[in-house]
Structure 1
Amino acid sequence: MNSPADRRQNPADHHQNPTDGYRDLAARYGTPLYVYDLDRVEESRRALAGSLPEGFEIFYALKANPHPDIARALREGAGPACRAEISSAGELASALSAGYNAGECLYTGPGKTPAELEHAIGEGVRMFSVESYTDLQHVGAAAIRHGVVAKCLLRINSAGTKAATTGIRMMGKPSQFGIDSETLPELMPQLLAVPGTRVVGAHFFTMSNAVDENGLVGEFEQTVAAAARLAEEVGLPLEFLDIGGGFSSPYAVPGERADYPKLAAELERILDLHLPRWRSGTPHLAVESGRYLVGSSGYLLASVVNIKDSRGSRFVILDSGINVLGGLSGLGRLLPAAVQLDGAEPDGVASLVGPLCTPGDSLGRDVRLPALEPGDVIVVPNVGAYGVSASLQGFLSRPVAVEAVVRGGQVVSATQLVPVRTEVPAVAVS
């Protein structure tokens, strides 16, 4: 059996400049252009698997990037195959087209509609993460209509302290996510009795993009301790435990994803303490990740359309804005975007803006940039996650970015997404 150190890949083992040759792709396909490197995807999967104890499964959160070629690369190839975590009929369609078995998918999210549940169960999905008693009832009603029983994880909104510094915290406060842990003693008998469902475990996801390994370990320790306590004190079934994620990777700036040299040993210590039967498979253990698995694989190529000086400030206007690299801009989070241009050194500071008719179309203010001219192509690194899938594609009806997938420097596919409506059956609700 390989040790975690043997299975971990050195992030410094990168070949030449990953943007070499991408300018040719921009000439071939135009801009805006996303390039996804499947070699980097598989490298990230090996790195994450090598940071975990043997026996953990990894769910790939398709919300990060639902491109079927990327999802397929995480299911196939060398190393442990990822399972799919999905939150919509569209993500389910992407997972199925990438070869995932619907019965192995985990369907999550706080707003599962009757039509979506009918569609998912009809396609073969059998495992759901539920956010409330009524969410569980909705899953059960759909399962009964199909004559099946749905396995359900209770997503827990734990009230523990914060162990990690993070950009987005999901638990420990009033939230649409998860069942408040303090309500479980009274609620558990009802949860276990919902027709059409079988509660098989728990799902935690406390935060996103933890900035340090010690903090991530602390979050996981609180999660495992909470799951063990709920199993003992309120009778929570614990056949399956998803402890969430939070694995860190840079977004839209140069840099490498985080390395976790101590995580496997620390998780083994935590599990031995709180769930000593884990080594024999009780409970079955999983983590989930989107950003860490695919973030470093993606690059956005954009063309400089114009350069404008206004009252002492310079604006570099691109053909790509928040319609192409939204970065969850609806949350009001300004991207710290950085660019690369043939290795040129920064020559000055400017605002990097897009072509949309709104002052909110900003990819970064006071960005250090090389000398640029109209027609130059810039590269934004580390946008394989939350690029196209987190952008305002419909605004102003601008062209959707082409997505080119490469492996070994060769183009595997090049497609331009045309938004389509995923048909799901209408459900009469009495």
Structure 2
Amino acid sequence: MRAHEAGAMHGDFGGHGPNWLRMPVDINDLLPHLWAKTVNRAPSGALSVGGVEAGDLAAEFGTPAYVVDEADFRFRLRAFADGFGSAFPGGKVYYAGKSFLCKAVVRWVAEEGLNLDVCTGGELATALAADFPADRLAFHGNNKSVAELTAALDAGVGTVVLDSFTEIDRLTTLARERGVRPRVMIRTKVGVEAHTHEYIATAHEDQKFGLSLPASARAVRKVLSEDALELRGLHSHIGSQIFETTAFEVAARRVLELHNAIRVELGVELPELDLGGGFGMAYTTQDDPETPARLADELRKIVDHECAALGIEPPAITVEPGRAISGPSTFTLYEVGTVKSVDLGAGQVRSYVSVDGGMSDNVRTALYDASYSATLASRLSQAPPILARIAGKHCEAGDIVVKDEFLPGDIAAGDLVAVPGTGAYCRSMASNYNHVPRPPVIAVADGAARVIVRRETVDDLLNLDVG
């Protein structure tokens, strides 16, 4: 995309949107791979999820609102548990709570048999408040405080992923004070440039997470020599929204070489290896993610090949899917406030459809230049499609929810619009920019809808302001 003085989203309009965006044959069609499994068009023409129509959700819970298809969320949890459980017997699947976490989701994860990955004291507290078994928790983070590590030890967290020598010292001191020996892994950055946005590529050298391969080797020696922590293995996470396994192949090779060097040089057989997560999901028609079973099979081949080349038995493999589970299971429901046609000259017109949310409930478009899809959710339309941009209500030129999408030409104030694929890193990264309260999270299943995270109110905001 060529640069533009008013920002990246103003460049290369061309009158037809990005090259991958196609004019729909029927503006009312839903592309199944972009939506949760129970989402369809009701006989009325309105969008329906779990047997409940969008208009009814808006009337009962208001807009904007995150709407979770509980059956879809649980299906994706099971798909990863089954796919990786079959490919890697003895391994573990952790749901990456940072993508979206609340007490209801914690219970779904527990009931579907997965483990849970948390990376702050707040996420840990949420898991414990929902009675998640502490020994099935892993605690991540590049700067875990003494208070957070103390809480993890006191709760009996199953694994702490160590990110620095400072954390090794902190946890060693705390463990000795308490007379416990927590299980730990060393987060290792393997120098892989994952094909994703630079902000979510996490295994190259010049970023904050983990230790380089040589530093990881030193960290292993330190942990083993002090003998206060139980070292379970190495941890590698290369990034997020990744669709191909080439980067995992390189990462697995490098981390397994270190795994083998530890075995040969130190005589220690580390029982586990965590290859992280970052598996991609479909936000638009340009995205084509693999199924969990296919991902598991491909990673199995990679691990077996690399271990055979080294002449070693494969360790137990752990993975941490988050976005691929929570993301597709949710859409955000908005109400249209205004529609504005902007004459760009040379016969080009852009239609701005402004909704009652924006970058406070979905910052990914502004932060990552992310692409999303959308549909008219409250009715059918026979109007010809127009190329539209869905904008938010915030006082910010970059407040865009969907950069380019075909919507019906008769879209108007009062219509409902749904944006799929908003379950990951939308509510989790939501803010109160412009003092806008954050939306609720509504779970729908079997014809019933319920609030699992309530809507914030202006009173909530004012109660934090002590004057």
Q: With the length of structure 1 as denominator, give the TM-score of the two structures.
A: 0.83
1:40-79 correspondence to structure 2 within 5 Å: 40-52=72-84, 53-55=87-89, 56-77=91-112
Q: Which amino acid aligns with 2:370?
A: L
The 3-state SS of whatever aligns with 2:151 is helix
Report the more deviating stretch, 299-308 or 319-328: 319-328
User: Cα offset for 1:47?
Assistant: 2.5
Whether the 8 Å contact between 1:353 and 1:362 is mirrored in structure 2 is yes
What residue in structure 2 maps to residue 249 of structure 1? 281
1:292-331 correspondence to structure 2 within 5 Å: 292-312=324-344, 313-327=350-364, 329=366
The 3-state SS of whatever aligns with 2:185 is strand
Deviations 1:396-420 (A, max 9, x none): 1112101111122322434325599
In the alignment, structure 1 residue 407 sits paired with structure 2 residue 445: yes
What residue in structure 1 maps to residue 196 of structure 2? 166
Distance 1:215 1:47 in 2: 22
Q: Compare CA radii of gyration and give the structure with the larger one.
A: 2
Whether the 8 Å contact between 1:317 and 1:352 is mirrored in structure 2 is yes
Q: Which amino acid aligns with 1:322?
A: M
- Unpaired stretches in structure 2, ≥5 consecutive residues: 1-31, 42-46, 345-349, 462-467
Q: Which amino acid aligns with 1:374?
A: A
Whether the 8 Å contact between 1:185 and 1:234 is mirrored in structure 2 is no
Distance 1:184 1:99, change over 3 A: closer
Distance 1:228 1:142, change over 3 A: closer
User: Cα offset for 1:248?
Assistant: 1.5
Whether the 8 Å contact between 2:236 and 2:255 is mirrored in structure 1 is no
The 3-state SS of whatever aligns with 2:98 is coil
What residue in structure 1 maps to residue 64 of structure 2? 32
Distance 1:410 1:223 in 2: 49
In the alignment, structure 1 residue 379 sits paired with structure 2 residue 410: no
Distance 2:438 2:342 in 1: 29
Report the more deviating stretch, 82-91 or 301-310: 301-310
Report the more deviating stretch, 123-132 or 12-21: 12-21
Give % identity.
25
Distance 1:242 1:185 in 2: 16
- Unpaired stretches in structure 1, ≥5 consecutive residues: 1-9, 422-430
What residue in structure 1 maps to residue 395 of structure 2? 357
Distance 1:294 1:378 in 2: 20
Distance 2:70 2:417 in 1: 21
Report the more deviating stretch, 214-223 or 294-303: 214-223
User: Cα offset for 1:257?
Assistant: 4.8
In the alignment, structure 1 residue 17 sits paired with structure 2 residue 54: no
Distance 2:341 2:285 in 1: 25
1:11-410 correspondence to structure 2 within 5 Å: 14=37, 17=40, 19-20=47-48, 21-52=53-84, 53-55=87-89, 56-77=91-112, 81-159=113-191, 165-167=195-197, 168-194=200-226, 196-212=228-244, 214-215=245-246, 218-219=249-250, 221-222=252-253, 225-235=256-266, 238-251=270-283, 257-259=289-291, 262-275=294-307, 283-312=315-344, 313-327=350-364, 329=366, 332-341=367-376, 342=379, 344=381, 347-371=385-409, 372-391=411-430, 393-410=431-448
User: Cα offset for 1:315?
Assistant: 1.9
Whether the 8 Å contact between 2:38 and 2:72 is mirrored in structure 1 is no
Distance 1:397 1:145, change over 3 A: farther
The 3-state SS of whatever aligns with 1:84 is strand
Distance 2:94 2:429 in 1: 20
Distance 1:266 1:231 in 2: 26
Distance 2:295 2:403 in 1: 36
Distance 2:402 2:88 in 1: 41
Deviations 1:363-384 (A, max 9, x none): 2334322231111110001111
Distance 1:318 1:418, change over 3 A: closer
